[in-house]
Amino acid sequence: MSIWRFLTGVIYVYMILLVLRILLSWIRGAVYGKPWELLVRVTDPYLSLFSRIRFLRQGMFDFTPIAAILTLVVALNVIQSIQRFGTITVGRFLGIVTGAVWSGLAFLLVLVLILAIVRAVVLAVRPGQETQITSAVGMMVEPVVSLVRRIVSARSPLTDRQYLYLTIAFLFIVRILGGYLIGLLVRFFYTLPI
C-alpha cells in the first residue's frame, strides 16, 4: 500500500467525520456524551483554523465548514493527481483549486436557488401568509435579491415578487454559464506545460 493511498483514506475518513460533526451539531440532543466529545476533539482544531477567517462568516451564515471540506477536497485531488501522473504541475494545481472553489460556489448557488424557488412557490400558493419558516427562507434569500435589485435598474419599480423571479433566473443563469466557463478554465489549466 502506497503512502498516497493511505493519505487518501485518511482524508476520506476525516471528511466523513467533519460532515458527521456538522450534521450532528444541527440536531438538538445529539451533541452529548463521550462519542460527541471525541468527535469534537478530533474535528474542532481543524475547523477552528477556518473560523478565524472573518469573511467566511456573513450574518447568520457560517461558511467555515464548507471552506474546511473544500480544502480537504483540494488536498485529495492533489494526492490523486500525484498518484495518477507521478507529479503535480502548477497547471494541474490551479485546475484543482479552481474546480474546488467552483464546487463550493455552485453548491451555494443551487442552495439559494432552491430556497428562492420555495419562497416563490409559497408566495404564489399562500400570498400574504407569512410563517416562521417562510420568513427564515426569505431572510436567507434576501442578500441575493438585494444584489439583483442593485444590478437591475428598472424604469418603473418592480414588486418584491418580480425581483424574486429575476433572482431565480439570475441564479440559474450564473450556475449554468459559470459551470461552463469554469469547465473551460479548468481544462485550460490542465493543458499548461508547467
Q: For cell 498518484, name the residue.
A: 83
pLDDT value of position 1: 53
Q: How far apart are CA 86 and CA 25, in angstroms?
A: 39
CA 109 – CA 144 distance, rounded (Å): 10
Q: Give CA–CA dist 139/135, Å, rounded.
A: 6
Q: What is the 3-state secondary structure (H, E, C) of 65-93?
A: HHHHHHHHHHHHHHHHHHHHHCCCCHHHH
Whole-angstrom distance, CA of residue 51 vs CA of residue 62: 9
What's the confidence (pLDDT) of residue 185? Answer: 94
pLDDT tens-digit map of 74-121:
888 878 777 777 777 888 888 888 888 888 788 878 888 888 888 888
Q: What angle do CA 89, 64, 54 make, to 5 degrees?
A: 100
- How many percent of the chain have pLDDT more than 90? 14
Question: Do residues 175 and 106 make contact, with C-beta atoms less than 8 angstroms apart?
Answer: yes
- Whole-angstrom distance, CA of residue 167 vs CA of residue 172: 8
Residue range 170-184, pLDDT digits in tens: 999 999 999 999 999
How far is CA 22 from each of CA 15, 31, 112, rounded to the nearest angstrom? 11, 11, 19
Q: What is the pLDDT of residues 125-154, one digit of tens each?
A: 877 777 677 777 777 788 888 888 888 876
Whole-model pTM?
0.68
9 against 158, higher pLDDT: 9
Give me the residue label for grid cell 490523486. 80
- Name residue 62's beta-bridge partners: 57
